[in-house]
Amino acid sequence: MKPVFPWQTYLLVLAVIAFVALLPVISVLIAGGIATLGGCELNEGFVNPCVFFGVDLGGLLYGMGVMGWFMLLSLPMGALAAAGWVAVWIGHFVWHRVRR
């Protein structure tokens, strides 16, 4: 019986790497969407009041918006991690094919 190559594991880890690298972008998109729905102004200069369903979310939205700056680090690191993971994936696949 020949061993089965673990495609799903490699794809799952690659998806996790992409998700973690994109978390700052997702945070900014969610903050922008909530601010738009509430009719609020959102910028990274200072906290603007944003009352949404009776709760002031201005500070939270400001924090989520400023979190976008982390993408300057998370996107390149995610790209490097993904490239390294794909190299390991290819190496394992080649080793798996030769071993058969």
- Alpha-carbon distance of 61 to 57, in angstroms, equals 6
Q: With bands split at pLDDT 50, 70 and 90, how would you rate the model's confidence at 73?
A: very high
pLDDT of residue 1: 66
> Are 70 and 24 spatial neighbours (Cβ–Cβ below 8 Å)?
yes
81 vs 38, higher pLDDT: 81
Mean pLDDT of the chain: 92
Determine phi and psi for 66, rounding to 5 degrees: -70, -25
Amino acid identity of residue 79, one-letter, is A
Burial string for 68-94 (b: 16+ CB within 10 Å, else e) reads beebeebeeebeebeeeeeeebeeeee
Tell me the pLDDT tens digit for each residue of 21-68: 999 999 999 999 999 998 999 988 899 999 888 889 999 999 999 999
